[in-house]
């Protein structure tokens, strides 16, 4: 069983152009790398370590995950 099957496909993405699909996949990978979102049970969800705070009327996400070797 491949748990990552369809990982970067999102419902409704068939309405996007190929360039938009590629950009969305890149954005999902970056958010995953930063520890903001996780792919669990076939769905994207906020990481348990992510915190969302309102600043100047805009949501900002902070992650408490630390990358090894980075300050």
pLDDT, tens digit, 9 for 90 and up, residues 7-58 = 887 777 788 898 998 898 899 999 999 999 999 888 889 988 766 665 666 5
Domain locations in the chain? 13-63
Predicted pLDDT of residue 29: 92
Q: What angle do CA 35, 21, 18 make, to 5 degrees?
A: 160
What tens digit of pLDDT does each residue of 45-66 get?
998 876 666 566 655 555 555 5
Predicted pLDDT of residue 19: 92
Predicted pLDDT of residue 28: 92
Predicted pLDDT of residue 40: 86
Q: Is residue 28 within a helix (H) or strand (E), and if so which, with residue range?
A: helix 18-33
Phi/psi of residue 44, each to 5°? Answer: -85, 140
């Amino acid at each position: 069983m491949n748990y990552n099957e369809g990982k970067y496909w999102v419902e409704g993405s068939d309405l996007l152009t190929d360039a938009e699909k590629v950009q969305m996949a890149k954005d999902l990978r970056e958010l995953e790398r930063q520890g903001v979102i996780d792919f669990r049970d076939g769905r994207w969800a906020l990481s348990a370590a992510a915190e969302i705070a309102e600043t100047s009327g805009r949501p900002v996400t902070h992650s408490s995950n630390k990358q090894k070797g980075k300050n």
